[in-house]
Amino acid sequence: MADSKWLMAYSFCPMQCAIRKQMSGHSKWSTIKRQKGATDAKRGKVFTKLSNAITLAVKQGGGVTDPSSNVKLRFAVDGARSANMPKDNIDRAIDRAVNKQQGDIEEIVYEGFGPGGFSVMVEAITDNKQRTTPIIKSIFDRGGGTLGTPGSVAYQFEQKGQIIVKKNGSTLDEIFLIAADSGAEDVEDVSNDTSEQVIVYTNPSDLAKVRDKLVEKGYTIEQAELIRKPLTTIQVSDKELISKIITFLERIEDEDDVQKVYANYDIPDS
């Protein structure tokens, strides 16, 4: 399944690492500073997105600032903490909504088709729709896609709760029994060479309940959020098209106003 797992994938070139080892002290320090600057910029962009999500959650929750009484805020704060966002940043994002400093911030969902014809849904938070919409349209146009109208692809996705759980030595069946007992619909093992993880899917209204049950049983929750899960997927095997797809989606995800990107393409393991 595609979803947006690719968004967290990064690679490092061994050749670049070998070259850096041969650098002089001054050159190496200059490189480290540039790398740190790039890392700080990326982290700053992530924090901005998380802050906007927190502020919007308070606004949409009627000004409720207690995460235990505002489920959407609770998950937004959990996501911020998982990204190691400082508490002061979280508090400022909440205060921004309480003090009405968020302006006309709103959530916008864009729908369209990526290169090759697969369906894309983009969730954005913006204080200026007239700025954000042309940017998103331009990325679709330049990337070989087409920005659609509301409803053009939404029917191909369903909203679900998604919980990423560390297996902690448990089997898929053991986690499924606990999750299902509290209302989960499905469980998928996504373990790989570097991590042992399970994805638990729920109805949106059961997300908090299932998450709390898993925590109660001692499981580590890496992420809990509402997602748009594709009902069907389109297989893509052409390497050139795959590269084009990833570049296209990365450009969308990199925009400051974009929160999440969903797509229904699927790349076979082979």
DSSP string for 29-70: HHHHHHHHHHHHHHHHHHHHHHHHHHHHHHHHTTT---TTT-
CATH topology of 25-98 equal to that of 106-155+232-266?
A: no
Confidence of residue 39 (pLDDT cuts 50, 70, 90): low
Q: Which pair of tokens denotes residue 29?
A: 């320090």
pLDDT, tens digit, 9 for 90 and up, residues 170-209: 999 999 999 999 999 999 998 888 889 999 999 999 999 9
CA distance 202 to 182: 10
Cα distances from 219 to residues 77, 172, 198, 222, in angstroms, run 19, 13, 11, 10
CA distance 92 to 114: 36
- Topology annotation, domain 25-98: Arc Repressor Mutant, subunit A (1.10.10)
Q: Are the CB atoms for 80 and 54 separated by under 8 Å? A: yes
Residue type, 66: D
Q: What's the average model confidence in pLDDT over 129-157?
A: 96
Q: In the chain, where are the structural domains located?
A: 25-98, 106-155+232-266, 159-230
CATH of 159-230, one of 1.10.3720.10, 3.40.30.10, 3.30.70.141, 3.30.70.980: 3.30.70.980
CA distance 129 to 107: 9
Q: Which pair of tokens denotes residue 43?
A: 């982290």
- Topology annotation, domain 106-155+232-266: Alpha-Beta Plaits (3.30.70)
User: What's the pTM value of the predicted model, to 2 decimals?
Assistant: 0.79
**DSSP 8-state code for residue 193:** S
> What values do phi and psi take at 221, rounded to 5?
-95, 120
